[in-house]
Amino acid sequence: MAFLKKTQRTKNQGPAPKKKIQKATFEANKKKEVGVSDLTLLSKISNESINENLELRFKNALIYTYIGNVLISVNPFRDLGIYTESVLESYKNKNRLEQPPHVFAIAESMYYNLKAYNENQSVIISGESGAGKTEAAKRIMQYIASVSGANENENIGKIKDMVLATNPLLESFGCAKTLRNNNSSRHGKYLEIKFNEQHAPVAGNITNYLLEKQRVVQQLKGERNFHIFYQFTKGCSEKYRQMYGVQGPDQYVYTATCIDAETIDDVKDWQDTLEAMKVIGITESEQDEIFRVLAAILWIGNISFIENDEGNASIKDSSVIDFVAYLLQVDNQSLTTALVERIMETNHGMRRGSVYHVPLNIVQASAVRDALAKAIYSNLFDWIVARVNISLGSKGTADDSLKTIGILDIYGFEIFEKNSFEQLCINYVNEKLQQIFIQLTLKSEQEEYAAEQIEWTPIKYFDNKIVCDLIEARRPPGIFAAMNDSVATAHADSSAADQAFAQRLNLFASNPHFANRQNKFVIKHYAGDVTYDVLGISDKNKDQLQKDLVELMGTTSNNFVKTIFPAEVNKDNKRRPPTAGDKIIKSANELVEKLSKTKPSYIRTIKPNQTKRPEDYDQAQVLHQVKYLGLQENVRIRRAGFAYRQTFDKFVERFYLLSPACSYAGDYTWQGSELDAVKEILKATRIPQTEYQIGTTKVFIKTPETIFALENMRDKYWHNMAARIQRAFRRRLQRKIDAITKIQRAIKEYRHGNKFEQLRDYGTANVLRYRKERRSMSLLGYRSFMGDYLVCNGVKTKGAFIKRQVGIKEPVLFSLGGEMLFTKFGRSAVRLKKTFMLTMQNLYIITANNVNNQVTYGIEFTIPVGSIKSVSLTNLQDDWLSINLDSATHPDFLINCVFKTELITHLKKINSNLTINIASTIEYNKKPRKIHVVKSTYDETAPKLSDKYKSSTIYVRKGHPANSNSKSKPTKKKMGHITHNKPSRDVHSARTYEKPMSSSGATKAAAPPPQKMAQQAASTAYTSTKKAPAPKPKVEVRKAPAPTPKPKVEVRKAPAPHPHVQQQEAKKAPAPQPMQVETKFNNASIPPPPPPPAAKPTLPKYKALYAFNGSGNNPNELLLALNEVVYLKQTDPSGWSLVENEAGKVGWAPTAYIGPVVDEPVQKAPIVNKPAQAEPVAANSGADFSTGLASALAARANKLRQDVDEDEEDDDDDW
């Protein structure tokens, strides 16, 4: 059960004061989550999806994942740098959900619950060998020692140091290199750290379980003995080498199988072990005795036997026996006798019978030798644990005033090719831990739902109690009981005891989790089926040292050796001594009882591969662990009710931004209770009621998709706010820049005149000399010769891109797109699009090519300005001119340029010797030295804003007289439209900013502002055309049709957008389409009301096939809603189309997003209103969440998009 922090509140305190909701802040350093950090948030619950998520996080160096409050840890087999002091500090006083998953978060949760709720805590670390259980236990101890150090005194500091020192000490004596793990725990331990009322550690206690004694005398190939033997033989001082005859590990039978281990430095670890002994308080004399015993064990392994004449065992090298006797301080003859003979005694009722000395063969003698070594090491290990407990201040008695944090680090589940008594004991303990894990996990869920009064459906799960009973039960007898009976029946003969046990196994044939085999049996554990060998299992269960060896050790003159061996057993006691099975059952039940009295936390460790290599992830192996650890069942139990649960205050603090009723400009504005705030948030986000339940203190959300949707909406809130701020800042900055530009221009014009207008007048009067008819657009007062229309001298413009790509380094004086006449042999001439750039030295003709669906630009012709002899034009208003070269090898160029007068003017400025030929025809060298004549004539069917070229003839409409002068520049005093709109915009801005919850009536009544369209038009025009005056006379004409003066406001607002559209199009002087609109606009003296809607049907009608929210790269894009009707104005080969919507907005949209539409019959119109039923459908879609939630979120997204569009149009500073 997850406990959430409540600001140091304890059970003994009264109700906590109402917590103030903190202002939301943007998480600038928030990392993008890889996979899901909590498996309960998986969309699909399966072993495979869990495995995929763990692999994805593992490969991104994220080894920790939650299942609710259970931590999953995948061993990385490398140092990830995630246990530093800075990382540890980041988890102090933090809720589990405030930081990414980590073992420190589990430790912090335990320590917090100990302080806040005054309850004993424990952490159960489980997993197979090599999965990282010991490392997790060490990190928990590291964290607790760090956070519990406030205001510590000297004694508390010593306790903390000793607790940490137990790690290297017990690792040395209890861990070894195995095939699966270089530092595998070969024992189990339960460390209890005891805290006083100030929550400082004052004592501790360690309980030892299941030391693998067999490893002392035998290891598999590639495995090592316990670490301490290699540390001792490699790193001990010369003193010990002289006193105890210590040699290298390769000289001892017990350590020679494998000497070194990768990533382990035995010499360094030896120093750490000595330091740990010193910290714990083991004296130097005690250390000497410990190492004497270790040396004795190593030399016992070197005792070898040979067969004598009678076929019995005898000592091969008596010098080894003598040295072992010296180390153990026993008689050497007694030691020899105990190893090669067995004393048997017969009993006659209450009387003692005869005593027999039975000689042993080599196999039996070797077994006795190994039994002595195992007994000595086992007793030594128990003494070390007891000595550590003495130093930690624990005498084994419980003190009720002290609260504890327990850390359980025990064997993982084991399945080998040959499994015997040791594996049965280990797997039995793991079954008990799995049982308590399932029971307490489910119990905590049930308790939380009951306390919160939440309805939920219990989920089925496998209760492994039946497997535990199969092993430990007494009535009917379980496997351990059957084993004890066989030992009692044939105690003197191990093989007979095994056969008796094999016969008793038939009693379990009816158990579905048991299967009998010949001399083997199978138990179906939660982690998989395990086959156990019967051979030798009874003798291991008996676990009794021969009486001869016990009596031998009792004769030692060494007090330490006497201490580690128990006192002589009472011979008159007729009760059967407890077997190893009895001991493990008792220990396991005591452990379960201890854990049941604590509030447990869980860490499930996973080993990703058998190679022990970093970044190596074996999917099949991990999938097996996922299955037997029961992660899927754990997720289902956690998800049986709800995937997410949070207290009201935390939920509101996280998501109040999503409700306009609860927030404004990032501040929490709700004045009611937190419960009502939760309801408002869920209502505003349109979460179906089937997707959540509200308890007494928490809100529960059923599926992960819902919480993901809430988080996504919260993230978008910040992006939307940032976009509004940026947009407002850019507009404000642009207004300042525009104002400065206007002031500068006005000053320059006042002092020196406008150079662009002067250049225009020079070209018209001095270059053309009134010999060519004029176009309407060229007569406008705003028409100036700006030159670089593609902004080639800029940075992030199309012209600059083309200039860089073709390699032009010089400043560009004039740039524009146009056409060039291209003639193929035997075919009509075609007009090809080109780009013209003029510098002080050259005129470049640039062409665009499509290479691999990418447009590339290249220079087709480079014409030195000095080589241009003359320029020829017609005397009509067409845009054709020929570039006549002073060359006998190159033809001339016939091009079409809208701003031909400006181009010629720049050429004349550069080359004063240039001749301007204006006549009714154009003569140019179509081929070298071959003159071709192009004629011109009037044709009223020609395009209004262009011309028509066919068969060497230019057809064009009649233009203005050649002697027409350009109009004077407007004085800008007619600002009627802007003056009319600005007060309305300011009023709306004030209302929106001060009253976020006000009605939308004012917003709907206001006419759409023209700023957005004005900016789009200005991006392709000159700076001087940005603030063109509104056609005020036409606006006044529109108002005339109003029937009465009263509704005059309504009438003037309804047609307002249409003149604005025409006004915008009129501003685009250089483009062909605006000129057409301008011509029509100027020639119409009294337009019919309203003219723009009448013109719309002439454009093709399209609708949006998909919603287009914009790419974010171009302000000229037009956002489209699904099925929105638009009118197609222009299609570009690049895949974009210029479209106009019903409101008169013009912009670019992807061609693939729109399609032609056919008007539906009138009777089908009501079908459009059907989406109004989406909300009740979503509310009743508990079985199919995706449909209901998707509809609700789609509706909310559309509303948010509309709100954003309105905000963009309403006010520059609406943020």
Paired with 61 in beta bridges are none
495 included as an active-site residue: no
Angle at Cα 104 formed by Cα 56 and Cα 406, nearest 5°? Answer: 120
670 phi and psi, to 5 degrees?
-70, 135
84 labeled binding residue = no
133 labeled binding residue = yes
CA atoms of 638 and 643, how far apart (whole Å): 7
40 included as an active-site residue: no
Q: Which residues contact 642 (CB under 8 A, 6 or more apart)?
A: 454, 456, 692, 693, 700, 701, 702
Given 414, 653, 680, 773, which residue is catalytic?
A: 414
Q: Going by DSSP bridges, is the β-strand pair 121-126/403-409 parallel, antiparallel, or unpaired? A: parallel
Given 130, 406, 581, 763, which residue is catalytic?
A: 130
Of 712, 704, 688, 699, the closest CA to residue 1183 belongs to: 688
Given 69, 178, 181, 183, which residue is catalytic?
A: 181
CA atoms of 333 and 957, how far apart (whole Å): 134
Mapping DSSP to helix (H, G, I), strand (E, B) and coil, where does residue 835 land?
strand
CA atoms of 134 and 901, how far apart (whole Å): 86
185 included as an active-site residue: yes
Angle in degrees, 0-180, between the axes of helices 318-328 and 284-301, rounded to the nearest 10: 160
Alpha-carbon distance values, 87 to 63, 73, 139 (Å): 15, 17, 12
- DSSP H helices, 39-80, are 47-58
Structure tokens at 761: 């007048």
Residue 38 DSSP one-character state: B
Check if the beta carbon of residue 343 is closer than 8 Å to that of residue 352: no
Mapping DSSP to helix (H, G, I), strand (E, B) and coil, where does residue 919 land?
strand
131 labeled binding residue = yes
C-alpha R_g of the chain: 46
Q: Going by DSSP bridges, is the β-strand pair 842-851/1125-1131 parallel, antiparallel, or unpaired? A: unpaired
Read out DSSP for 440-508? HHHHHHHHHHHHHT----------THHHHHHHH-TTTT-HHHHHHHHHHHTSS-HHHHHHHHHHHGGGG
Q: Which residues contact 633 (CB under 8 A, 6 or more apart)?
A: 438, 461, 462
- Helix (H) or strand (E) segment spanning residue 406: strand 403-409
996 phi and psi, to 5 degrees?
-65, -20
Q: Going by DSSP bridges, is the β-strand pair 868-874/915-919 parallel, antiparallel, or unpaired? A: parallel
406 labeled binding residue = no
134 included as an active-site residue: yes
Given 73, 113, 184, 784, which residue is catalytic?
A: 184
Check if the beta carbon of residue 394 is closer than 8 Å to that of residue 510: no
Mapping DSSP to helix (H, G, I), strand (E, B) and coil, where does residue 1167 land?
helix
Given 185, 389, 541, 872, which residue is catalytic?
A: 185
Structure tokens at 514: 């048991």
Of 534, 430, 522, the closest CA to residue 482 belongs to: 534
* CA atoms lying within 13 Å on the CB side of residue 931: 5
1110: left (phi over 0), alpha (psi -120 to 50) or beta: left
Residue 922 burial (CB < 10 Å; 0-12/13-18/19+)? Answer: buried
Residue 239 burial (CB < 10 Å; 0-12/13-18/19+)? Answer: exposed
User: Which amino acid, 859?
Assistant: I
Mapping DSSP to helix (H, G, I), strand (E, B) and coil, where does residue 1070 land?
coil
Given 129, 419, 464, 1141, which residue is catalytic?
A: 129
Given 75, 126, 134, 647, which residue is catalytic?
A: 134
Read out DSSP for 154-189? HHHHHHHHHHHHHHHHHHHHHEE--SS-TTEE-SEE
899 phi and psi, to 5 degrees?
-100, 55
1147 included as an active-site residue: no
* CA atoms lying within 13 Å on the CB side of residue 657: 21
Given 174, 406, 412, 799, which residue is catalytic?
A: 412
Structure tokens at 1016: 């789009």
414 included as an active-site residue: yes
611 included as an active-site residue: no
CA atoms of 372 and 591, how far apart (whole Å): 29
Check if the beta carbon of residue 662 is closer than 8 Å to that of residue 648: no
889 included as an active-site residue: no
130 labeled binding residue = yes
Q: Which residue numbers belong to the known binding site? A: 127-134
Q: Which residue numbers belong to the known binding site for ATP? A: 127-134
| Active site amino acids | 129-130, 134, 181, 184-185, 412, 414
